[in-house]
Amino acid sequence: MNYQFYLALKYLKPQKDKFFSYTSLLISILGIAIGVCTLVVTLGIMTGFHKEIRARLATIYPHIIITSNYSLDDNVLKSNNMITAYSEFIYGQAIIKFNDKVNTVIVKGIKYEKEKNVTNIKKIINWINDKEMFDKNSVLLGKELAKSLGVSLNDEIVMVLPTQIVTPFGNLPLTQKFVVKGILSSGVYEYDSSLCIIDYDIAKELFYDKIIGQFNAVHGWGVKLKNDNYLELVTNELRSKFGPFSRVLSWIELNYNLFSALKLEKVMMIIIVSLIILVACFIIMSNLLLKGVQKSKDIGILMAMGLQRKAVKTIFFIQGMVINLTGVVLGLIAGIILGLLIKQYQFVKLPKEVYYIDRIPVYFSLPDILIVLLITITVGIFASIYPAHKISQFDPVEIIRYG
């Protein structure tokens, strides 16, 4: 064993007759451990939120959404070898009524057989008798929307549309009856509480107002790619081909504000929680300076015998890093255990109306762990250098003369 490392470990042991030495060492280690534990759990939760929300949004969004007030040429989509599937849709607003309850909804008209190839809609629908039964009289309601209306499977609802029809009493909104054949459960409250899905051809008829000759909804295409790594490339290519009269957006761009907020929140949490580690490193500095004072006689004798100042600096630098790394290891273990307990037992329930999800997701990733290690070890190095340098400047003659 290198003599510097041996002396570092020897001097690290508290003097048994001094309770303060034990307490100071323990506080130094626990300070780092608590900081690392907090940072690991925080990053695990923030990464879990990001991953969970992306996964849930991916079930209801195609990779790329194209909308236009004009008819679109799907030959552009057919000719792109990065596109595996695409499906037409119609977006509009309406009011649905069941018994005495009324709610405003977003209506999406889809070609179900094509939509299955573009999004994961099949996985989030609870069908009557577990059989897919989507026809022209069918409507699929979001789980929270169905709950607020008190609707069950096979109930009949009435949809009131912005389209006008001529009656003996004047122009009135068009109404249409649908049977609830399925309940959507995407896990995203915003959509589960406002989305209903009907057949594309029916939506096309219902949203066209013959009186004013106007289509009261948005027409578009949902596009799925072979690999979403090419999302930005394909999106820009489609923008250039469809021209300025069409809107081409990736699902990431549609949720840009959400993902930007999550990213900013994660960065801010790293900065804030890192302050705990910074405070703990000041404790390490004070602990090393205390050790230097306690072992000053030994240091003076060793330096008088020829020990170089550089070696003294190395001894106390190693001490600081041993305290730092011990705290890091304990903090990582505690953080991972605490994160897994939070994930398993869900001590806190989240309000679905505020957050996209109702549980706390925890996901530990290697980049997050490396960030924790980088922050802690970097701060620990700087916290060890200063006291090690100051101790190495002791004058051995003065130490031996005055003790």
Calculate mean pLDDT across residues 287-313. Answer: 77
pLDDT higher than threshold 60 for residue 17: no
Residue 402 clears pLDDT 60, i.e. is over it: no
Residue 297: per-residue pLDDT = 75
Q: Are 189 and 196 in contact (CB under 8 A)?
A: no
Rounded Cα gap, residues 284 and 316, in angstroms = 11
More confident position, 326 or 398: 326
User: Whose CA is closest to 394, among 317, 313, 285, 282?
Assistant: 313
Q: Let me know: does 30 contact 281? Beta carbons within 8 Å.
A: no
Q: What is the pLDDT of residue 114?
A: 92
pLDDT of residue 97: 94
What was the pLDDT predicted at 7? Answer: 73
Note the pLDDT of residue 340: 93
- Model pLDDT, residue 21: 72
Q: Mean of the pLDDT values across residues 14-25?
A: 69
Which residues, 6+ apart, have CB-to-CB distance to 328 below 8 Å?
Answer: 32, 33, 36, 372, 373, 376, 377, 380
pLDDT number for residue 18: 65
Indicate the pLDDT class of residue 366, thresholds 50, 70 and 90. Answer: very high
For residues 319 and 288, the answer to whether their CB atoms sit within 8 Å is: yes
User: What single letter denotes the amino acid at residue 376?
Assistant: T
The better pLDDT of the pair 43, 14 is held by: 43
pLDDT tens for each residue of 89-129: 999 999 999 988 999 999 999 999 999 999 988 888 999 87
Give the long-range contacts of residues 148-151, CB within 8 A, separation 24 or more.
148/101, 148/103, 148/193, 149/96, 149/98, 149/101, 149/103, 150/98, 150/99, 150/101, 151/98, 151/180
Tens-place pLDDT, residues 122-161: 888 999 877 888 888 899 999 999 999 999 999 999 999 9
Instruction: Give the tens place of pLDDT for each residue, 176-215.
Output: 999 999 999 887 888 899 999 999 999 999 998 888 888 8
Distance, CA of 12 to CA of 403 (rounded, Å): 20
Sequence spans of domains, the chain: 3-56+258-402, 62-251
